[in-house]
Protein backbone atom coordinates (compact mmCIF):
# COMPACT_ATOMS: atom_id res chain seq x y z
CA UNK A 1 0.00 0.00 0.00
CA UNK A 2 1.66 3.26 -1.06
CA UNK A 3 1.59 6.38 1.07
CA UNK A 4 0.46 9.73 -0.31
CA UNK A 5 2.95 12.40 0.70
CA UNK A 6 1.61 14.74 3.37
CA UNK A 7 1.00 18.34 2.53
CA UNK A 8 3.06 20.28 4.99
CA UNK A 9 1.33 22.78 7.23
CA UNK A 10 3.87 25.53 6.67
CA UNK A 11 1.55 28.48 6.64
CA UNK A 12 3.11 31.22 8.74
CA UNK A 13 -0.24 32.52 9.94
CA UNK A 14 -1.12 29.24 11.66
CA UNK A 15 -0.01 28.24 15.09
CA UNK A 16 0.22 24.66 16.32
CA UNK A 17 -3.14 25.12 18.02
CA UNK A 18 -4.90 26.27 14.89
CA UNK A 19 -3.51 23.37 12.89
CA UNK A 20 -5.28 20.83 15.10
CA UNK A 21 -8.81 21.80 14.04
CA UNK A 22 -10.17 19.16 11.70
CA UNK A 23 -12.51 19.59 8.79
CA UNK A 24 -13.38 16.52 6.78
CA UNK A 25 -15.01 16.34 3.37
CA UNK A 26 -16.32 13.65 1.06
CA UNK A 27 -16.71 13.41 -2.70
CA UNK A 28 -18.42 10.90 -4.93
CA UNK A 29 -16.56 9.89 -8.08
CA UNK A 30 -18.89 7.80 -10.21
CA UNK A 31 -17.60 8.27 -13.73
CA UNK A 32 -13.82 8.08 -13.64
CA UNK A 33 -13.13 4.72 -12.12
CA UNK A 34 -9.82 4.24 -10.35
CA UNK A 35 -9.28 0.53 -10.03
CA UNK A 36 -8.47 -0.95 -6.62
CA UNK A 37 -5.03 -2.25 -5.88
CA UNK A 38 -4.41 -5.96 -6.18
CA UNK A 39 -5.05 -8.01 -3.08
CA UNK A 40 -2.02 -8.19 -0.82
CA UNK A 41 -1.52 -9.48 2.75
CA UNK A 42 -1.81 -5.89 4.02
CA UNK A 43 -4.77 -4.74 1.94
CA UNK A 44 -8.07 -3.87 3.56
CA UNK A 45 -11.51 -4.99 2.48
CA UNK A 46 -14.82 -4.29 4.17
CA UNK A 47 -18.50 -4.83 3.59
CA UNK A 48 -20.48 -7.72 2.14
CA UNK A 49 -20.61 -8.38 -1.56
CA UNK A 50 -23.93 -7.67 -3.24
CA UNK A 51 -24.78 -11.03 -4.74
CA UNK A 52 -28.09 -9.92 -6.29
CA UNK A 53 -26.56 -8.92 -9.63
CA UNK A 54 -23.31 -8.18 -11.38
CA UNK A 55 -22.42 -4.53 -10.68
CA UNK A 56 -22.62 -2.18 -13.65
CA UNK A 57 -20.69 0.96 -14.47
CA UNK A 58 -22.32 4.37 -14.36
CA UNK A 59 -23.03 5.89 -17.75
CA UNK A 60 -25.49 5.69 -20.61
CA UNK A 61 -28.77 4.38 -19.29
CA UNK A 62 -27.26 3.69 -15.86
CA UNK A 63 -27.68 6.65 -13.53
CA UNK A 64 -25.22 7.41 -10.71
CA UNK A 65 -26.22 6.59 -7.13
CA UNK A 66 -26.98 9.61 -4.98
CA UNK A 67 -25.56 10.01 -1.46
CA UNK A 68 -28.32 10.33 1.14
CA UNK A 69 -26.24 10.23 4.31
CA UNK A 70 -22.46 10.37 4.57
CA UNK A 71 -21.13 10.47 8.14
CA UNK A 72 -17.71 12.10 8.22
CA UNK A 73 -14.68 10.04 9.20
CA UNK A 74 -12.60 10.61 12.28
CA UNK A 75 -8.96 11.64 12.05
CA UNK A 76 -6.45 9.06 13.25
CA UNK A 77 -4.23 10.33 16.06
CA UNK A 78 -1.12 9.26 14.16
CA UNK A 79 -2.06 11.37 11.13
CA UNK A 80 -3.28 14.28 13.23
CA UNK A 81 -0.05 14.51 15.22
CA UNK A 82 1.97 14.66 11.98
CA UNK A 83 -0.22 17.26 10.30
CA UNK A 84 -0.92 14.67 7.60
CA UNK A 85 -3.49 15.42 4.91
CA UNK A 86 -4.71 13.87 1.69
CA UNK A 87 -7.44 12.05 -0.17
CA UNK A 88 -8.22 8.36 0.29
CA UNK A 89 -9.97 6.81 -2.71
CA UNK A 90 -12.16 3.78 -2.11
CA UNK A 91 -13.62 1.39 -4.67
CA UNK A 92 -17.00 -0.06 -3.75
CA UNK A 93 -20.26 -1.44 -5.01
CA UNK A 94 -23.49 0.36 -4.21
CA UNK A 95 -26.11 -2.36 -4.06
CA UNK A 96 -29.77 -2.23 -4.92
CA UNK A 97 -30.34 -1.74 -1.20
CA UNK A 98 -28.43 1.55 -1.30
CA UNK A 99 -25.71 0.20 0.95
CA UNK A 100 -21.97 0.05 0.16
CA UNK A 101 -20.55 -3.44 -0.41
CA UNK A 102 -17.15 -4.92 -1.19
CA UNK A 103 -15.23 -1.80 -0.12
CA UNK A 104 -11.59 -1.78 -1.17
CA UNK A 105 -8.80 0.77 -1.23
CA UNK A 106 -7.95 2.25 -4.63
CA UNK A 107 -5.59 4.95 -3.33
CA UNK A 108 -4.07 4.66 0.12
CA UNK A 109 -3.14 7.37 2.60
CA UNK A 110 -1.79 5.24 5.43
CA UNK A 111 -1.28 6.33 9.06
CA UNK A 112 -4.65 4.85 9.98
CA UNK A 113 -6.66 7.08 7.62
CA UNK A 114 -7.58 4.25 5.25
CA UNK A 115 -9.24 2.40 8.11
CA UNK A 116 -11.03 5.56 9.24
CA UNK A 117 -12.28 6.17 5.71
CA UNK A 118 -13.65 2.64 5.43
CA UNK A 119 -15.33 2.84 8.84
CA UNK A 120 -17.14 6.01 7.75
CA UNK A 121 -18.11 4.81 4.25
CA UNK A 122 -19.59 1.61 5.69
CA UNK A 123 -22.19 3.89 7.30
CA UNK A 124 -23.01 5.79 4.09
CA UNK A 125 -26.38 5.31 2.47
CA UNK A 126 -27.29 5.93 -1.15
CA UNK A 127 -30.29 6.23 -3.37
CA UNK A 128 -29.49 3.27 -5.66
CA UNK A 129 -28.39 3.71 -9.25
CA UNK A 130 -31.12 2.98 -11.80
CA UNK A 131 -31.46 1.59 -15.29
CA UNK A 132 -34.80 1.86 -17.04
CA UNK A 133 -36.34 2.92 -13.74
CA UNK A 134 -35.15 -0.14 -11.83
CA UNK A 135 -32.51 -0.17 -9.07
CA UNK A 136 -29.22 -1.73 -10.11
CA UNK A 137 -25.90 -2.37 -8.39
CA UNK A 138 -23.02 -0.25 -9.66
CA UNK A 139 -19.31 0.01 -8.97
CA UNK A 140 -17.98 3.47 -8.16
CA UNK A 141 -15.10 5.31 -6.53
CA UNK A 142 -15.55 7.66 -3.63
CA UNK A 143 -13.04 10.17 -2.33
CA UNK A 144 -12.71 10.78 1.39
CA UNK A 145 -10.83 14.00 2.07
CA UNK A 146 -8.76 14.53 5.20
CA UNK A 147 -7.71 18.12 5.79
CA UNK A 148 -6.41 19.87 8.89
CA UNK A 149 -7.71 23.39 8.78
CA UNK A 150 -7.46 26.11 11.33
CA UNK A 151 -8.34 29.60 10.21
CA UNK A 152 -8.54 32.47 12.65
CA UNK A 153 -12.29 32.67 12.00
CA UNK A 154 -12.84 29.00 12.85
CA UNK A 155 -10.95 29.26 16.12
CA UNK A 156 -12.62 32.55 16.99
CA UNK A 157 -16.10 31.10 16.44
CA UNK A 158 -15.25 27.97 18.42
CA UNK A 159 -13.97 29.98 21.38
CA UNK A 160 -16.97 32.33 21.16
CA UNK A 161 -19.34 29.36 21.39
CA UNK A 162 -17.32 27.95 24.29
CA UNK A 163 -17.59 31.25 26.13
CA UNK A 164 -21.33 31.25 25.56
CA UNK A 165 -21.56 27.96 27.44
CA UNK A 166 -21.58 25.39 24.63
CA UNK A 167 -20.15 22.28 26.31
CA UNK A 168 -19.16 20.64 23.01
CA UNK A 169 -17.28 23.77 21.96
CA UNK A 170 -15.60 23.93 25.37
CA UNK A 171 -14.48 20.34 24.96
CA UNK A 172 -13.07 20.98 21.47
CA UNK A 173 -11.24 24.10 22.59
CA UNK A 174 -9.78 22.25 25.57
CA UNK A 175 -8.51 19.51 23.24
CA UNK A 176 -6.66 22.14 21.21
CA UNK A 177 -5.24 24.07 24.13
CA UNK A 178 -4.12 21.06 26.15
CA UNK A 179 -1.81 20.04 23.29
CA UNK A 180 0.10 23.30 23.54
CA UNK A 181 3.63 23.54 24.92
CA UNK A 182 2.63 26.70 26.77
CA UNK A 183 1.70 26.20 30.42
CA UNK A 184 -0.68 29.16 30.33
CA UNK A 185 -2.48 27.79 27.28
CA UNK A 186 -2.70 24.36 28.92
CA UNK A 187 -4.22 25.90 32.03
CA UNK A 188 -6.80 27.64 29.91
CA UNK A 189 -7.54 24.33 28.19
CA UNK A 190 -8.02 22.64 31.56
CA UNK A 191 -10.45 25.41 32.52
CA UNK A 192 -12.55 24.76 29.41
CA UNK A 193 -12.46 21.02 30.04
CA UNK A 194 -13.62 21.51 33.63
CA UNK A 195 -16.47 23.75 32.51
CA UNK A 196 -17.65 21.15 30.01
CA UNK A 197 -17.41 18.40 32.63
CA UNK A 198 -19.33 20.48 35.14
CA UNK A 199 -22.17 20.77 32.63
CA UNK A 200 -22.39 16.98 32.48
CA UNK A 201 -20.64 16.23 29.18
CA UNK A 202 -19.57 12.60 29.69
CA UNK A 203 -16.52 12.63 27.42
CA UNK A 204 -15.26 15.77 29.15
CA UNK A 205 -15.78 14.13 32.54
CA UNK A 206 -13.79 11.11 31.44
CA UNK A 207 -10.93 13.20 30.04
CA UNK A 208 -10.82 15.27 33.21
CA UNK A 209 -10.56 12.05 35.22
CA UNK A 210 -7.71 10.97 32.95
CA UNK A 211 -5.81 14.20 33.56
CA UNK A 212 -6.25 13.99 37.32
CA UNK A 213 -5.21 10.34 37.44
CA UNK A 214 -2.75 9.65 34.64
CA UNK A 215 -1.54 13.14 33.68
CA UNK A 216 -1.53 14.99 36.98
CA UNK A 217 1.00 17.82 37.43
CA UNK A 218 4.18 16.79 39.26
CA UNK A 219 3.02 13.15 39.15
CA UNK A 220 0.65 13.80 42.03
CA UNK A 221 -2.71 12.25 41.04
CA UNK A 222 -5.85 13.41 42.78
CA UNK A 223 -7.60 10.09 43.41
CA UNK A 224 -10.76 11.54 44.93
CA UNK A 225 -11.44 14.03 42.15
CA UNK A 226 -10.49 11.54 39.44
CA UNK A 227 -12.90 8.98 40.93
CA UNK A 228 -15.73 11.51 40.87
CA UNK A 229 -15.25 12.33 37.19
CA UNK A 230 -14.75 8.72 36.14
CA UNK A 231 -17.87 7.66 38.06
CA UNK A 232 -20.00 10.46 36.58
CA UNK A 233 -18.79 9.61 33.08
CA UNK A 234 -19.53 5.94 33.71
CA UNK A 235 -23.03 6.78 34.93
CA UNK A 236 -23.59 8.64 31.65
CA UNK A 237 -22.53 5.65 29.58
CA UNK A 238 -18.93 6.54 28.71
CA UNK A 239 -17.55 3.11 27.74
CA UNK A 240 -13.94 3.64 28.82
CA UNK A 241 -14.85 4.95 32.26
CA UNK A 242 -15.68 1.63 33.92
CA UNK A 243 -12.24 0.13 33.23
CA UNK A 244 -10.52 3.32 34.39
CA UNK A 245 -12.63 3.36 37.53
CA UNK A 246 -11.61 -0.19 38.43
CA UNK A 247 -7.94 0.64 37.94
CA UNK A 248 -8.24 3.74 40.10
CA UNK A 249 -10.22 2.00 42.86
CA UNK A 250 -7.46 -0.59 43.27
CA UNK A 251 -5.14 2.21 44.38
CA UNK A 252 -7.52 3.88 46.84
CA UNK A 253 -8.17 3.17 50.50
CA UNK A 254 -11.69 2.23 51.67
CA UNK A 255 -11.98 5.65 53.31
CA UNK A 256 -11.09 7.41 50.07
CA UNK A 257 -13.60 5.35 48.13
CA UNK A 258 -16.37 6.14 50.61
CA UNK A 259 -15.59 9.85 50.44
CA UNK A 260 -15.49 9.79 46.63
CA UNK A 261 -18.82 7.97 46.42
CA UNK A 262 -20.38 10.59 48.69
CA UNK A 263 -19.13 13.33 46.38
CA UNK A 264 -20.60 11.54 43.38
CA UNK A 265 -23.98 11.17 45.11
CA UNK A 266 -24.07 14.88 45.93
CA UNK A 267 -22.82 16.13 42.56
CA UNK A 268 -25.04 18.38 40.48
CA UNK A 269 -24.32 19.83 37.04
CA UNK A 270 -23.28 23.46 36.97
CA UNK A 271 -24.42 25.72 34.12
CA UNK A 272 -21.50 27.35 32.33
CA UNK A 273 -21.08 31.05 32.91
What does the alpha-carbon distance between residue 200 and residue 209 come to, in Å, rounded to a whole number? 13
**Its pTM surpasses 0.75:** no
Q: Which mean pLDDT values do the consecutive 10-residue runs of the chain (273 residues) have?
A: 35 37 43 44 46 79 90 82 83 95 93 93 94 94 76 68 91 86 79 94 96 84 95 94 95 95 94 69
Q: Output the CA torsion 156→205→72→106 (10° steps).
A: 120
> Under a CB-based contact definition with an 8 Å cutoff, are residues 74 and 109 in contact?
no
Q: What DSSP assignment string belongs to 212-246?
A: HHTS-GGG---HHHHHHHHHHHHHTT-TTHHHHHH
What does the alpha-carbon distance between residue 270 and residue 208 come to, in Å, rounded to a whole number? 15
Predicted confidence at residue 20, as pLDDT, reads 37
Count the alpha carbons within 13 Å of 10 in the hemisphere toward its beta carbon. 3
Structural element, H or E, at residue 68? strand 66-69
What does the alpha-carbon distance between residue 229 and residue 194 come to, in Å, rounded to a whole number? 10
Predicted confidence at residue 48, as pLDDT, reads 44
Predicted confidence at residue 29, as pLDDT, reads 54
Predicted confidence at residue 132, as pLDDT, reads 93
* Sequence-separated (6 or more) residues with CB below 8 Å from residue 255: none
> Under a CB-based contact definition with an 8 Å cutoff, are residues 209 and 226 in contact?
yes
CA 9-10-11 angle, to 5 degrees, is 100
Amino acid sequence: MGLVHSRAMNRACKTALLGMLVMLGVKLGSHSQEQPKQQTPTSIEAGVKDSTQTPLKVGGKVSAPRIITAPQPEYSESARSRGYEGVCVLWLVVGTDGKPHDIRIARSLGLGLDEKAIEAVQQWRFEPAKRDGKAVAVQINVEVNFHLLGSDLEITNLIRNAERGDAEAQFKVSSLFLKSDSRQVQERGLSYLTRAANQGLAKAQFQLGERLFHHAPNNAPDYLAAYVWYALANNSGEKKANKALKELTSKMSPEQITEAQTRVANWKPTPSN
